[in-house]
Amino acid sequence: MTDRDFASLEELNDAMRREFPSAAGVGGVVAGEGSILAPMAFVGEQPGDAEDREGRPFVGPAGRLLDRALVEAEIDRGEAYMTNAVKQFHFTERGKRRIHRKPRTGEIVHQRWWLWREIDLVRPTVIVALGATAGLALAERPVAVTRERGPMTFCNRRGFLTVHPSYLLRIPDSAAKQAAFEAFVDDLKQARAIGQTT
Ligand code: URA
């Protein structure tokens, strides 16, 4: 960790790449994507296998589902900022497959300082925490998504806690999945409205 200030996202991302090199079971830094002053920032858990390979957040199955929900909620992804609480894919190798490993609390806390420097540069009007890992990083305490889902304040910034899109992917029953998707879209609409209030 450092007490340095960063003039731009590029500077911040370069410093993160130096601070968090890839290693066995840990991918490279996948930087946030979007412009400074994007009105909405979306924070996920960590990049997945597809994100690690492409070097971009939310481009795999969860990202495609998020994209569909954004369209339904009339949120333009091009005007949103996408990032993750933890910037590296953590995995265990099983043969040729890389199996997602949840980041440990220590890893989330260790990267939190960097997440806040990033948010301070982007200055979104609302931050959407997708799932418990993002919630923990932003609220600076463990959050229970089912109980606390809804508007929240993250370090004096307007925020919203909702489910992670990969949770929707795992629901086996198609009617339940559709209902959960619609509830997720409603959350995104609420978050958008919160970001638009002055
Ligand atoms: N899941 C996340 O939390 N972030 C990504 O970028 C992709 C999947």
Domains of the chain and any CATH numbers: 9-193 (3.40.470.10)
Tell me the residue type at 103: P
Residue with tokens 């970001």, as numbered in its chain = 195
The residue to mutate among 42, 67, 77, 84, having the most atoms of ligand 1 within 8 angstroms of its beta carbon, is: 84
The three-state secondary structure class of 115 is: helix
46 in contact with ligand 1, CB cutoff 6 A: yes
* Per-residue model confidence (pLDDT) at position 35: 86
159 in contact with ligand 1, CB cutoff 6 A: no
How far apart CA 187 and CA 191 sit, in angstroms, is 6
Q: What is the pLDDT of residues 136-155, one digit of tens each?
A: 999 999 999 999 999 999 99
DSSP state of 151: E
Strand partners, 151: 160
20 in contact with ligand 1, CB cutoff 6 A: no
Q: Please list the ranges in the chain whose pLDDT falls under 70.
A: 1-3
* Per-residue model confidence (pLDDT) at position 114: 97
pTM given for the model? 0.96
Q: What is the pLDDT of residues 45-82, one digit of tens each?
A: 999 999 999 999 999 999 999 999 999 999 999 999 99
* Per-residue model confidence (pLDDT) at position 4: 78
Write down the number of H helices and E strands in the chain: 8, 7
* Per-residue model confidence (pLDDT) at position 1: 54
